[in-house]
Structure 1
C-alpha cells in the first residue's frame, strides 16, 4: 500500500469513528450528502441511470431515497454495460474473468474487486467494488471490530498467536472466497473448505488452533456440536458467523461449546459488503453513514418499525463504479422501534429471510449425517453454464435436482457435470449412497418470486427423529 493510500485509509477510519461518536444525527447528515453525490455521479456517468432518472423525472439534488425509482438485480444485470460507470468494463469481460478459477482474488481490469452470486431470484449477479468502496469496507470492518472487542479480547487473540481461520466455499468468486484468496500466504490466516467432511474440518482446525474463527453460521452450529462431543478442541476468542441466520440461543450454545468465545454476526451482501454488524443484544446495526436500508411492503411502501417487511431496498453510498440505488435486496427484515440497549447509533434490524436450514441424512450405519445448505449451494453456483438450480431433499437418502441451463448450454453435459460434483461432495461426507434424481421440472419459484436454492425435507417423521435435539 502506498503512503497516499495509507493516509486515505486513516482519514476514512477517523471519519468512521467520528460518525459513530456523533450518533444518528451526524450519520444522517453524512448519509444525505453522500446520497446526493452518488445520484449526481450515477446520472452523469451511468447511461442506465441517466435514462431512468430522465424518464421518471427525478429532480436534481436528491437528498432522500424515496425520490428515486426502485432497481433490482435482474434489470441491472440486463443493462450491465450501461449500468457501470467505467466504459472499459463490459459484461463479456466480467463473465470471462468470473469463469476462470485462476483469477479468484485478483483485481478485475487491474483495479476492481469482482464477486459473484446466483442469489435466489433467478439471476446471476456480478458485482464490482472500486478502491473507494474497498476503503470504506476496511474502515467499517475496523469500526466493527473495535466495537466488538475489549482489551481482554485483544489480549486473548494475541495470546492465541492472532491466527484467523475462515471457512469458505471453493471454486467460485464468492465474496468470502475472494477475501480468503487475498489472505493466502499470510502465516496467521488460513482458509478451510466448507465442502470438506466435518471430521476433516475439525481435524484441520484442531491443528491450526485459531484465535478468530469465521465460518458460515450453520457450519458454526455443527462445529459447536463437535466441540460438545469433545472432538473439536479449539479456544477462539472471537467467532464471526456469516451468510445465514441462526436462532439467538444458538449463539450462546456456540459460545459455551467453544470455551466462552465471543460470538458475533453481521448482515451483508455482495451488493454492500459492509452493510451491518451484530451487537451483544442480538441486533444488526446498519452502517447508516454509508448505507441506506428501507423496509417496504409488496408495493414498495414504507413498513413501520416493529413490523416485518416484504423486502428491503438497499442503497450503497460508497460504490461509484456500479451504483446500487434503491435496490430490491429480497430479504424480509424487522426494524427495532426503540433505541438498542447496546448503545450503537445505527438503525437496528433482524433478518427474517435468511435462517439456516440444515439437511440431515441417514448415514450408512444408520447414524445421522448433517450438512449445512451453503456448501451444497456454493458447489453448484460455481458450475459454468448453470443459470439456476434447486436441490430438494425428498427423503433421508434422496435428493431431487432441478436445473435450468444457460442459453446455448447442452442440458445433458450440464446434468453430468452437476451430478458428478454433487455425488463427489456427498461421497466425501460418507453419503455416497444418497440417490440424486434428475427432475423434469425447472426450479420452482415461491409466491414471492424467489427460488429457494436448497430445500430440506419437512421436519417430520424420520428427519425429525434424526436431527440432534440442539438443532431442532
Structure 2
C-alpha cells in the first residue's frame, strides 16, 4: 500500500474517453489470442487443481484433460446446479476455487430470483479484476477525479457494498453510498443529500427513481435542477431503447447509461456508451455467448437466448455459466471505438410467458405501454409452458382504459391479451429491483 494517498488514484490523463484504452480497443487478433489462452487455462484448471464439481461434470460428458473442446460442446452450468452441489456438500460445495481461507472479500446475492442467496468469495485476482472492470464502468459515465457518484445499492453483504470503495477511490471519485430508499423519510434524506453534494453520477433502479420523484415533490426539490447534466445509470431494461430513454432524459435533463452484469461474477458490470448499441463486455476477461436454452448451442446476433459467460484471468472459475437471462448479441463495430462483444439483456428466463408459441417478457409489455403513460403492471403466468393469451393486471382508471390498453398490447405484441384493471398505486414500489411478474 503506498504511503502517499494520492498514489491510490489513477493520475494518467484524466480527460481520456476510456479508462483503459489499450484493453478496451484491442484488435481482434489480440483478443483472439487472449480468449484462446484464457479458455485453455480454465480448462487445465479443472483437471490440474482439480475442481471436483467440474471435473466430474465434464468427465461424465465424455471429456478429459488436454485439448479444449469447442465451447458449444461444453455443458452449461446454472446457479441451480451450484446450489445443488452446495446442498450435497455443505456449506460451500465442491465447485469453488476460492474458499473462506483464500478470500479477501466476500459478498452475497439478494436471492430475489429464487432459492438460497449465493455467496461470492473473491481472491486477490478477483478483487483486482473487479476494480479494473468497474473502474471502466464508472469512467464510462463521464465521472472524473473530484466528481461525486451517488448510488442506492444495499449495504451489508450485498456483493458491491464490500468492494465498491476500491474502484471509486481508484478513479478519484467521491462515493456517496446511500443504500436503498426503503422509507419516505430515507428517500427525502437522499434527495437533500443530492441537493447538497450535486453528484455528477448516480446509480438507481427505475423503481427507486420514481420513489425519489415523489420524495422530491414532498419537500419541494426540483430534481431536474439538481440532476441536470449528470449521468444516471438507470437499472431498468426498458431504458436500453430509444423512446423510453429519451423520454426520461428530456424529463430530467440528465443522460442515461445502461449497465448489465451478474453479482456472482467478480467485476462483471458491463456499461454502454454514448451510442447505446448494447453494453460492452470486457473482452480481456470474458467470452459471451447467447445460447439456445434447449441445446446450449450458440445463436447468431439478434436472436434471443440465454446469456452464457466464460471468464478467465481470475481466481474464480466460470466456464459456460448460464445466467438464465434472456439476451441478444449485437453485431458490427461501435462508433465509440471499443472492440469486443456487445449484448443486451432483456429479462429473466423465469419471467417470460409463452403465449401462442411466442415468448413475452415484461420489457416487451413495458415498451408497448411506454408511449401511453407507462402504467405499472404485473404479468401473470410466468414460467408456464404455454398459454393461449397474455394476462396481466394493470394500474388504470377503469374498464374503459383497460379495453384501450388491451387493444394496444394485442396490436403491439401480436398475441391475444386480457387486461384486469386495478386502482393506480395498487402495486407496491420496490426500494431496489422491481419485479413485474406474479
* TM-score of the two chains, using structure 1 as the length reference: 0.62
- Tell me how far 1:221 sits from its aligned partner: 5.3
- Report SS of the residue matched to 1:458: strand
CA separation in 2, counterparts of 1:40 and 1:234?
Answer: 53
Correspondence 1:286-435 to 2 at 5 A: 286-299=281-294, 300-309=296-305, 311-321=306-316, 323-353=317-347
Distance in 2 between residues matched to 1:187 and 1:314, nearest whole Å: 30
Partner of 1:231: 222
Q: Aligned Cα RMSD in Å? A: 4.3
Check conservation: 2:308, 2:320, Cα contact below 8 A: yes
In structure 2, do the counterparts of structure 1 residues 211 and 295 end up closer, same or farther at CA, with 3 Å as the change threshold? same
- 1:138-170 Cα distance to aligned partner (Å, 9 max, x none): 222333444553xxx74xx74xxx222111235
- SS across alignment from 2:324: coil
Corresponding residue for residue 27 of structure 2: 23
Contact 2:203 2:232 in 1 (8 A): yes
Q: Measure, in 2, the Cα distance between the counterparts of 1:225 and 1:23.
A: 47
Contact 1:314-1:324 at 8 Å conserved across structures: yes
Task: Name the counterpart of 1:84.
Answer: 96
Distance 1:28 1:110, change over 3 A: closer
Native 8 Å contact 1:168 1:192 kept in 2: yes
Residue 178 of structure 1 pairs with residue 162 of structure 2? yes
- Equivalent residue of 2:94, what SS? helix
Residue-by-residue CA offset, 1:174-201 (whole Å, 9 max, x unaligned): 2243346779999932222321324443
- Equivalent-residue separation in structure 2 for 1:130 and 1:325 (angstroms): 17
Of 151, 174, 177 in structure 2, the residue corresponding to residue 191 of structure 1 is 177
Contiguous gaps of at least 5 residues in structure 1 = 90-107, 358-369, 374-391, 395-443, 450-454, 468-472
Contact 2:229 / 2:255 at 8 angstroms: preserved in 1?
Answer: yes
**Partner Cα separation in structure 1 for residue 110 and residue 96 of structure 2:** 18
Asked if structure 2 preserves the Cα contact closer than 8 Å seen for 1:312 and 1:328, the reply is yes
Quote how far apart the aligned CAs of 1:268 are: 0.7
- Aligned 8 A contact 2:309 2:322 in 1: yes
Check if 1:205 corresponds to 2:194: yes
Counterpart-to-counterpart distance in 2, 1:175 and 1:207:
28
1:88-118 deviation per Cα after TM superposition (whole angstroms, max 9, x unaligned)? 53xxxxxxxxxxxxxxxxxx86623322231
Cα distance in 2 for partners of 1:340, 1:81 equals 41
Which residue pairs with 2:57 in the alignment?
Answer: 52
Superposed displacement of residue 72, structure 1:
0.9
Paired residue secondary structure (2:77): coil
Q: Which residue of 2 aligns with 1:384?
A: none
* CA distance, structure 2, for counterparts of residue 445 and residue 122 of structure 1: 17
Partner of 1:408: none
d(CA) in 2 for partners of 1:182, 1:221? 29
- C-alpha deviation, 1:16, in angstroms: 5.2
* Superposed CA offset, 1:321-364 (max 9, x none): 4x12111101111112333343321222221116888xxxxxxx
- Which residue of the partner structure matches residue 431 of structure 1? none
* Alpha-carbon distance in 1 for matches of 2:196, 2:124: 36
Q: Is the 8 A contact 1:221 1:254 kept in 2?
A: no
- How has the CA–CA distance of structure 1 residues 146 and 167 changed in structure 2, closer, same or farther, with 3 Å as cutoff? closer
Alignment of 1:244-263 (within 5 A): 244-247=236-239, 248=241, 249-259=243-253, 261-263=254-256
Do the aligned partners of 1:210 and 1:236 also contact (CA within 8 Å) in 2? no
* Structure 1 Cα separation of the partners of residues 375 and 103 of structure 2: 38
1:420 maps to none
Distance 1:148 1:181, change over 3 A: closer
Q: Secondary structure at the match of 2:126?
A: helix
Tell me how far apart the structure 1 counterparts of residues 23 and 287 of structure 2 sit (CA, whole Å). Answer: 15
Are 1:111 and 1:130, in contact at CA under 8 Å, matched by a contact in 2?
A: yes
Per-residue CA distance 1:367-400 (angstroms, 9 max, x = gap): xxx9999xxxxxxxxxxxxxxxxxx899xxxxxx
Greater shift in the superposed pair: 200-209 or 281-290:
200-209
Q: Secondary structure at the match of 1:177?
A: helix
Once the two structures are superposed, the pairs formed by residues 76-155 of structure 1 within 5 Å of their partners are: 76-79=82-85, 80-86=92-98, 89=100, 111-149=104-142, 154=144
Cα 1:251–1:176 shift into 2, 3 Å = farther
Partner of 2:394: 458
1: CA distance, partners of 2:43 / 2:238: 36
Per the alignment, residue 71 of structure 2 pairs with: 65
